[in-house]
Copies of this chain bind each other. A is one copy, B any other.
């Protein structure tokens, strides 16, 4: 059937299988929640026997933990954009674009994250208290600097961040609702562009973001 490649080395096998399992797990956890997900279903989706999952990941929780941690990494990475930007127009635009793209390409991850937080973060509370707190404070400082430099209105940086998270992740977490309201069809390329544009327009206007130098 499939193009049988040469036998894989042990390391390759491990890497390959862990990847298969993690990908399947992310989907299943996203669709069913932690409680509703079953190891059997993840195994089927990964195309491996259930016992094999327990060979790589001793418990359901350890598998879940790794899924959530991977998502958290992506989440943070999307924000490096923020720091390098000269002002809110560039920085926030780029951040919205990046997060919207994640919502589009990686909706399962966003859902798992949302579910984890909604359930009071049973497995990544320590990350929230350390990494996320630091990250947030850093970004708030950037926004405050922009305000001090007169590049945008004096809005509360914290609530601006929440709005950015909420609006962008909404397109992943509530994607099903959005699809239903779109006649049951996934958004087209053009519709995604319209969504991005709407979010950027409203938020940038909303905070009175001003270009670095008036044209």
Q: A133-B181, A162-B178, A202-B203 are in contact. Are A114 and B125 (CB under 8 A)?
A: no
Within the assembled complex, what's the spacing in Å between the Cα atoms of A206 and B152?
13
| Distance to closest chain B CB from A147 (angstroms) | 13
Residue A37 is within 8 A (CB to CB) of chain B in the complex = yes
Q: Quick one: copies of this chain in the complex?
A: 2
The list of the 5 closest CB pairs from A to B, nearest first, reads A35-B36, A206-B206, A35-B35, A202-B206, A166-B170
Binding site for B on A (CB under 8 A): 30-37, 111, 114-115, 117-121, 125, 128-129, 132-133, 136, 153, 155-156, 158-160, 162-163, 165-167, 169-171, 173-174, 176-178, 180-181, 184, 194-195, 198-199, 201-208
Pick 27 A–B contacts, CB within 8 A, sort by A.
A33-B33, A33-B115, A34-B36, A36-B36, A36-B119, A111-B118, A114-B118, A114-B173, A114-B174, A117-B176, A117-B177, A118-B174, A121-B176, A128-B177, A129-B184, A136-B181, A153-B205, A159-B198, A162-B178, A163-B167, A165-B170, A166-B166, A166-B169, A202-B202, A204-B206, A205-B205, A206-B206
